[in-house]
Amino acid sequence: MSIQAINARNQFRGTIKAIITGPVVSEVEVETPSGIIVTSVITTRSLDELGLAVGTEVIALVKATEVALAKPQRATALFTNPV
């Protein structure tokens, strides 16, 4: 069976740059052509069944129901004017 279409609109082509294998889940780092790193956590079983390895070309599909945002603290001034 092959995939003809998919409803995940956020798709990033890239190459696997690093894999951290765990007993149950593994982290897979994918580098896009523009240098962005997308990290995916998948089961180690899926990693093995897909035959993923460093250097493999893949498509990272992002399907999220929510995106969290954080506001960084404002930088403090390094110099102040004495009064």
Question: What is the reported pTM?
Answer: 0.72
Cα separation, 26 vs 18, whole angstroms: 10
Order across the sheet with 10-21: list the strands.
Answer: 37-43, 25-31, 10-21, 57-62
Q: pLDDT, tens digit, for every residue of 13-72?
A: 999 999 999 999 999 999 999 999 989 999 999 999 999 999 999 999 888 777 777 888
> How would CATH label the architecture of 10-61?
Beta Barrel (2.40)
Is the Cβ–Cβ distance between 30 and 54 less than 8 Å? no
Q: Phi, psi at residue 51, to the nearest 5°?
A: 65, 35
